[in-house]
Amino acid sequence: MFATRINDPPGATTRAAGPRFAPIVADWDNAPDEDAMKAMKRREGLAKLTGRERYLDDLPLPVGGLWAATVRSREARGMLRAVRFGEGVAWDDFVIVDHRDIPGQNVVVLIEDDQPVLASSEVRHVHEPVLLLAHPSRAALRHAVRAVSIEIEPQVPVLDVTTQPRPEQLQYNDDNVFKHLSVNKGDISQGFESAVHVIEGAYATGAQEHVYLETQGMLATLEAGDGEGDVVVVRGSMQCPYYVHRALMTALDRPAHRVRVIQTPTGGCFGGKEEFPSMLAIHAALLALKAQRAVKLVYERSEDLAVSTKRHAAWIHHRTALDATGRLLAQDIEIAMDAGAYVTLSPVVLSRAVIHAAGPYRCPNVRIRGRSMLSNRVPSGAFRGFGAPQAHFASERHMDRVAAALGLDPVTLRQRNLLRDGDCTATGQRITDGSDRQGLLRRALEMADWEHKREQHRVWNASERWHRRGIGLAVFHHGAGFTGSGEVDLASEVHVAGLEDGRVEVLAAATEMGQGTITVLTQLAAARLGLDPEQVLVAEPDTARVPDSGPTVASRTAMIVGRLVERAADDLLARLGSRPQPGDGQALSRAIVAWHRAHPGRTLLGRARYQPPAGIVWDDQRYRGDAYGAYAWAAYVAEVEVDLTTYAARVIDFVAVQEVGKVLNEVLARGQIQGGVVQGIGWALSEEIVSRNGAMVNAQLTNYIIPTCDDTPRIRVAFEENPYPHGAQGSKGIGELPMDGPGPAIANAIAAALDVDPRVLPLRPERIMALVEP
């Protein structure tokens, strides 16, 4: 079922940090070879570097178009009583939309139909949208927003999910729990009965804001359809054009062909533009329909920070049984997450947290119980890692504490318990991929100079008055693609078209958000067809033109959509009657041109639809079986230095070693890891949402602290390879993996540096001070 390891000489495919500067591939006379492909430069890179790439806000407002603004609740919870329009504003000059203007359902379609487009009778979180305004002048809009007062009769909000809700706080079922999930393996009571050691611990992680550098934005226009009426066209910054398309259909009560969604070049997402953009798209469209004009809705930074979705805060409890030698006998894990006011994607985030909660370890008896709780806060949503970073923080911090309690080296404890081929995970999935998890760990420790550094720190710490250094480890895994039958349900489809001029076009809904979609899909198509990459176009994700290849999430794009590109390319060749001729791209182009001459007016389209790999069995009722087709594996090491005058910790060295099946592009892959690690460092050390009454009060980039260039060291990256046969060219997912490691590695390093026991992220200086001097 799974491939054996490739037999390359050591070092050939596992280069640390990649080549310094990949030269532009000049020689295309022969088949583009694998190394050249791996070195292909980002296709849209020059446009971005010279300011020519146009993002949503760069698009001019069409003539006669209007700007939009949102009027929001100031209460965390309550009944909507009145909307009053104040003096001093020429209200007749404004287009005003409220819930009554929604043609279809007042629902932002996602998993459950609980989140309204606009509040109608009640509000459930601060900043919940109530009213929309449009006007030709942005300045006039700002004045107008200030002049609207929304009268709300407050109700008692839920702001703390760790305590039982009172009866008057119940807003979902009888317990405010959006989702319960549990994973059961073996019999944990047996495990605890035979235990020599039992270690417990409670851990918590904070919410996190994505801080994509381009804020949320949408432009809605009305364009002529063919006969049946107009088409609402929404352009904007997003990850998932078809999610937006579905949401628009439901809210506007329009059939598929009367809604069109186009992703514009997008300045960063990290999950923050997975589901949230649907709200903006509907808002812009409602105004456009009412005004019969184009409408542009762009969030300013402080609004974006305050009102958009956040990573779920989590509280995780571990109770672990081990034998005398430190082998895991039982793991009993509880997870609670703060979902915010509406369900959004919380059940799926919980799912991933629950599935990863026990770590990459072998244990015969496991019970994991998770619950996702309602609170009257801005809804939590997708964020890179999607529950796994929270789970791995708890799990890996706990492992270090277990090691300390048993008097074991933290490395030895991992080595003793890491999954081996033939072992089963907590959901009963047998691991047989042949990945060398022990080797990954060894390599990370070697690159990080682990033993030597630990000794160095002992000496250094004893001689330094005001600084301490420590080194910490995290070993973890990340399932790629949608859980269980998710990919089957998505039924993704990709087309590869042969164009009249002999070039090909890849048609997929996968979006470029900086992770390299355009370049990688180009590479895959070019390699499969033996074409010069310049002969491959990647279509703009436009629902009028591209099939639904699924959302650009879950680290699935290269692995799953890329594989569909390969199969669609094969199908194209089949329709041409060609066999793949390695290296003869020109012949292929000629064949495509000839086909068009022979079939004027027709479309030459290779197609592929998702097929699950054989033998993957997942039971969604009992939450057992093969949760993911493939896992990426990783070992990260963080070295920190703590300033004892300020209690501020900083990372002075970071090693990230991972096996992601196959590295498709050296620079892009390395960039994903480095970027994810730095985002993880921010989550671990400085990013905190300060709230009062459920509202984020530090909604400015001066007060929500992400790392600058001078706050992080060089991130040293190495890849191992072990091709996954069902991923494009053997690749597994890579984008989210790097978020899982930094949190626990850094916490463990700080624990080593200061001999303290951190349990909560972020480890801001104030928190470290409390650990050192309670």
Indicate the residue among 471 and 673 with the shorter CB distance to other proteins.
673
Residue 464 binding other proteins, by CB under 8 A: no
Helix-strand-coil percent breakdown of the chain, rounded to 5? 30, 25, 45
* Interface pick for other proteins out of 260, 318, 556, 670 (rule CB under 8 A): 670
Name the minimum Å distance from CB 676 to other proteins.
7
Indicate the residue among 106 and 215 with the shorter CB distance to other proteins.
215
How distant, in Å, are the alpha carbons of 82, 161, 311, 628 from that of 372? 32, 9, 13, 22
- Scanning residues 5 to 24, which ones bind other proteins (CB under 8 A)? 20-24
Q: How far apart are CA 631 and CA 555, in angstroms?
A: 11
Segment interacting with other proteins (CB under 8 A) among 111-119, 251-259, 375-383, 678-686: 678-686
Please give the radius of gyration of the chain, using alpha carbons only, rounded to the nearest integer.
26
For residue 124, the one-letter residue type is: R
The total of other beta-carbon atoms located within 10 Å of residue 436's CB is 16
Residue 131: its H or E element = strand 129-135
* Interface pick for other proteins out of 344, 380, 552, 686 (rule CB under 8 A): 686
Please count the residues of this chain forming the interface with other proteins, following the rule CB under 8 A.
96
Indicate the residue among 612 and 671 with the shorter CB distance to other proteins.
671
Residue 54 binding other proteins, by CB under 8 A: yes
> Which stretches of 230-291 are assigned E, i.e. beta strand?
231-236, 259-263
Indicate the residue among 146 and 590 with the shorter CB distance to other proteins.
146
Segment interacting with other proteins (CB under 8 A) among 26-34, 154-162, 311-319, 663-671: 663-671
Residue 418 DSSP label: B
* Interface pick for other proteins out of 541, 675, 694, 758 (rule CB under 8 A): 675
Residue 709 binding other proteins, by CB under 8 A: yes
- Scanning residues 728 to 767, which ones bind other proteins (CB under 8 A)? 764-766
* Interface pick for other proteins out of 222, 668, 737, 753 (rule CB under 8 A): 668
Indicate the residue among 22 and 231 with the shorter CB distance to other proteins.
22
CA angle centred on 694, ends 690 and 697, rounded to 5°: 35
- Mark residues 247-266: x for contact with other proteins by CB under 8 A, - for none: ------------------xx
Q: How far apart are CA 419 and CA 413, in angstroms?
A: 12
Residue 383 binding other proteins, by CB under 8 A: no
Residue 690 binding other proteins, by CB under 8 A: yes
Residue pair 168/156 in contact by the 8 Å Cβ criterion: yes
Name the minimum Å distance from CB 58 to other proteins.
4
- Scanning residues 72 to 91, which ones bind other proteins (CB under 8 A)? none
Residue 224 binding other proteins, by CB under 8 A: no
Indicate the residue among 270 and 618 with the shorter CB distance to other proteins.
270
* Interface pick for other proteins out of 15, 28, 34, 53 (rule CB under 8 A): 53
Q: How far apart are CA 76 and CA 159, in angstroms?
A: 9
Give the three-class secondary structure for 611.
Answer: coil
Helix crossing, 410-417 with 437-448: angle to 10°?
Answer: 160
Residues paired with 624 in a beta bridge:
619
- Scanning residues 265 to 294, which ones bind other proteins (CB under 8 A)? 265-270, 291
Long-range contacts of 710-714 (CB under 8 A, 24+ apart): 711/650, 711/681, 711/686, 712/651, 712/654, 712/678, 712/681, 713/651, 713/652, 713/653, 713/654, 714/654
Sequence-separated (6 or more) residues with CB below 8 Å from residue 462: none
Segment interacting with other proteins (CB under 8 A) among 40-48, 361-369, 373-381, 535-543: 40-48
Residue 301 binding other proteins, by CB under 8 A: yes
- Scanning residues 102 to 121, which ones bind other proteins (CB under 8 A)? none
* Interface pick for other proteins out of 1, 12, 49, 491 (rule CB under 8 A): 49
Indicate the residue among 129 and 675 with the shorter CB distance to other proteins.
675
Give the three-class secondary structure for 67.
Answer: strand
- Scanning residues 624 to 653, which ones bind other proteins (CB under 8 A)? 644-648
Q: How far apart are CA 83 and CA 88, in angstroms?
A: 16
- Scanning residues 158 to 217, which ones bind other proteins (CB under 8 A)? 210-215
Residue 142 binding other proteins, by CB under 8 A: yes
Residue 703 binding other proteins, by CB under 8 A: yes
Q: Which two tokens stand for residue 592?
A: 């495509």
Name the minimum Å distance from CB 244 to other proteins.
19
Sequence-separated (6 or more) residues with CB below 8 Å from residue 375: 157, 158, 159, 160, 161, 176, 338, 339, 340, 341, 694
The total of other beta-carbon atoms located within 10 Å of residue 233's CB is 20
Name the minimum Å distance from CB 172 to other proteins.
31
Segment interacting with other proteins (CB under 8 A) among 125-133, 309-317, 351-359, 708-716: 708-716
The counts of H helices and E strands in the chain are 19, 27
* Interface pick for other proteins out of 584, 671, 693, 757 (rule CB under 8 A): 671
Residue 101 binding other proteins, by CB under 8 A: no
Name the minimum Å distance from CB 748 to other proteins.
21
Token match 């050390």: residue?
Answer: 685
Residue 617 binding other proteins, by CB under 8 A: no
Phi and psi torsions of 82, nearest 5°: -160, 155
Q: How far apart are CA 705 and CA 698, in angstroms?
A: 9
Residue 57 binding other proteins, by CB under 8 A: yes
What pairing do the DSSP bridges indicate for beta strands 618-619 and 624-625? antiparallel
Name the minimum Å distance from CB 571 to other proteins.
31
Q: Which two tokens stand for residue 715?
A: 């991130």
